[in-house]
């Protein structure tokens, strides 16, 4: 990616956002991070404090953007709660982040000729009736269910992006991210990998919701970040699935976590949450052909690295100034 202008990352203090900031700074870019810290943490950015190429503002993306962003030429839009446990407690804020927040970023991008990459989600496919999910599939989403604040918010964000591209020529990219995991997931985030790893390390029962035969396809954070950057520098039209196409049942994930951590925790079964998708696996043909991207880190290796970090959450070394 060329380093003309600087890069705005919204949701910079989150799991993916903080890894993205690290990568962009390490590649020699100037980065402005914003985050309202509703789910993110400045701990994830502590090693960047004082770095000459990095600035950070605590800011809610649903409010008018802060000053000082005049040199921005690229925007990574990541600000939105992503954990079902959290977003279901804050459905209004979740919708506003993806609608009002993304609308403001699109206006900003249009005025400055900047490129906006919107991080959408596999949730736009809902509980899919097509498997694996390719970008042409329209999805199967409950528009008023507990997950709808996230799913419909992200669907509206996509619609806004394409509307602005059609009507104003705004430069957009849309990534549909499937489940991503790795160091810096919040231990209390409620998602399956962070739950299982923290439970296994603490020697308490692993909580499986439903019968554990539902599937997900887990992409290690490093691969996800590679995919986002490849998409930003591409000229791809239309949304692109970014995810790992290797599908696992939740029971398999529990078994792998127990094996990798050497934990003797037992497995407890709990009722399945409403509208929990039964299966999910990306078709990444488009990303492979058009971005020359595919994930490289298998679940086994990714879980090993994730468990090592949860056991000893070391601060990350500060990238060198460019
Ligand atoms: N899940 C589980 N136990 C947990 C957390 C999640 O069995 O402690 C299941 C959840 O019901 C879902 C899958 O794991 O079927 C992935 O859930 P997660 O919240 O990580 O992400 P989602 O893909 O549902 O957004």
125 as an active site residue: the answer is no
The DSSP code sequence of 234-277 is: S---SEEEES---EEEHHHHHHHHHHHHT----EEEEPPPTT--
**CB of 208 closer than 6 A to ligand 1?**
yes
Average pLDDT value for residue range 221-232: 98
Phi, psi of 87 (to 5 degrees): -70, -25
Please classify residue 57 by burial: count the beta carbons closer than 10 Å to its beta carbon, then call 0-12 exposed, 13-18 middle and 19+ buried.
Answer: middle
Helix crossing, 221-233 with 15-26: angle to 10°? 60
Average pLDDT, the chain: 95
Question: Which residue puts its alpha carbon closest to atom 5 of ligand 1?
Answer: 192
Residue tagged 């962070």 (tokens): 194
Phi, psi of 51 (to 5 degrees): -65, 130
Question: Which residue puts its alpha carbon closest to atom 13 of ligand 1?
Answer: 192
Cα of 276 vs its chain's centroid, Å: 18
pLDDT tens sequence across 42-80:
999 999 999 999 999 999 999 999 999 999 999 999 999
Phi, psi of 199 (to 5 degrees): -65, -45
Tell me the residue ranges of DSSP E strands in 195-243. 206-209, 215-217, 219-220, 239-242
**CB of 66 closer than 6 A to ligand 1?**
no
3-state secondary structure of 115: strand
Residue 3: pLDDT band (50, 70, 90) is low
- Ligand 1 pocket test: pick from 185, 216, 217, 281 the residue with the most ligand atoms within 8 Å of its Cβ: 216
Question: Which residue puts its alpha carbon closest to atom 11 of ligand 1?
Answer: 209
Inform me whether the pLDDT recorded for 4 exceeds 50: yes
- Domains for the chain: give ranges and CATH numbers: 6-180+219-244+281-295 (3.40.50.720)
**CB of 216 closer than 6 A to ligand 1?**
yes
And the tokens for 272?
Answer: 């399945």
Annotated catalytic residue within 86, 87, 125, 150 = 150
pLDDT tens sequence across 270-286:
999 999 999 999 999 99
Average pLDDT value for residue range 5-19: 97
116 and 75 in contact (C-beta within 8 Å)?
yes
244 and 223 in contact (C-beta within 8 Å)?
yes
Average pLDDT value for residue range 213-241: 97
* pTM: predicted TM-score of the whole model, two decimal places: 0.96
**CB of 113 closer than 6 A to ligand 1?**
no
């Amino acid at each position: 990616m060329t380093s003309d202008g600087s890069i705005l990352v919204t949701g910079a203090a989150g799991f993916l956002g903080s890894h993205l900031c690290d990568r962009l700074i390490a590649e020699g870019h100037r980065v402005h991070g914003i985050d309202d810290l509703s789910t993110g943490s400045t701990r994830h950015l502590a090693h960047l404090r004082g770095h000459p190429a990095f600035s950070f503002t605590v800011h809610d993306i649903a409010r008018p953007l802060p000053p000082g962003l005049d040199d921005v030429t690229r925007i990574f839009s990541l600000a939105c709660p992503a954990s079902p446990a959290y977003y279901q407690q804050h459905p209004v804020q979740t919708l506003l982040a993806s609608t009002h927040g993304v609308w403001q970023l699109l206006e900003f991008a249009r005025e400055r000729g900047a490129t906006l990459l919107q991080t959408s989600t596999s949730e736009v496919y809902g509980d899919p009736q097509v498997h694996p999910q390719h970008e042409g599939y329209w999805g199967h989403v409950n528009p008023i269910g507990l997950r709808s604040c996230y799913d419909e918010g992200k669907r509206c964000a996509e619609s806004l992006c394409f509307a602005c591209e059609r009507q104003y020529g705004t430069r957009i990219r849309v990534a549909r991210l499937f489940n991503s995991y790795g160091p810096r997931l919040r231990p209390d985030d409620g998602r399956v990998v962070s739950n299982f790893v923290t439970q296994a390390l603490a020697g308490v029962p692993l909580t499986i919701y439903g019968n554990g035969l539902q599937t997900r396809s887990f992409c290690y954070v490093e691969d996800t970040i590679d995919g986002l950057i490849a998409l930003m520098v591409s000229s791809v039209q239309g949304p692109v699935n970014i995810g790992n196409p290797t599908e696992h049942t939740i029971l398999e994930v529990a078994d792998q976590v127990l094996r990798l951590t050497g934990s003797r925790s037992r497995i407890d079964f709990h009722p399945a949450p409403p509208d929990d998708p039964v299966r999910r696996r990306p078709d990444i043909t488009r990303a492979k052909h058009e971005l020359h991207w595919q994930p490289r880190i298998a679940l086994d290796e990714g879980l090993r690295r994730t468990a090592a970090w949860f056991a000893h959450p070391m601060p990350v070394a500060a990238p060198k100034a460019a």
